[in-house]
Amino acid sequence: MIADLLILACVGIGLLFNTLGIIGILRFPDVYTRLHAETKTTTFGTIFLAAAVVVYGVSRLLESGDGQYLTLSVHTVVALLALAVTNATGAHAIARAAHRSGQAPSPAVIDRYLEEEA
């Protein structure tokens, strides 16, 4: 019962942050601010969705003692680690590429990177 509530809470938080991330992508003015919304919130939301799956796996494992639920939890954690690391690095690659292709952050109050390259 507690596990069910925990799962419901995790799924709710996860979907909320994923939704905010997508709204951010649609709403923000330039590629850098969109990246903020995309990387942070969808990674965080997916962490919570995966946490819900892990809670589900562990609660079923304690209930039935079936080893496949442990496998489910462990694999979910591995998928989550792969996602978190690659999302951060991917965001960095996109930001760098956008800057190299000459797209300046707009609006922006300052751009030290441009001064450096010039």
What is the footprint of other proteins within residues 27-86 (CB under 8 A)? 27-28, 30-46, 49-50, 53, 56, 67-68, 70-72, 74-76, 78-79, 82-86
Q: Tell me phi and psi for residue 65, to 5 degrees.
A: 70, 15
Tell me the angle at which helices 42-64 and 67-100 cross, rounded to the nearest 10 degrees.
Answer: 170
Exactly one of 62, 63, 64, 103 binds other proteins (CB under 8 A); which one? Answer: 103
- Residues near 54 by beta carbon (within 8 Å), at least 6 away in sequence: 73, 76, 77
Exactly one of 62, 63, 64, 108 binds other proteins (CB under 8 A); which one? Answer: 108
Smallest distance from the beta carbon of 116 to other proteins, in angstroms? Answer: 7
Smallest distance from the beta carbon of 3 to other proteins, in angstroms? Answer: 10
Exactly one of 23, 58, 61, 64 binds other proteins (CB under 8 A); which one? Answer: 23
Q: CA 105 to CA 74: how far, in whole Å?
A: 40
Exactly one of 61, 64, 109, 118 binds other proteins (CB under 8 A); which one? Answer: 109
In the DSSP assignment, the letter for residue 1 is: -
Q: How many residues bind other proteins (CB under 8 A)?
A: 80
Q: CA 82 to CA 71: how far, in whole Å?
A: 17
Pick 62 or 113: Cβ nearer other proteins: 113
Between CA 90 and CA 98, with CA 95 as vertex, the angle to 5 degrees is: 125
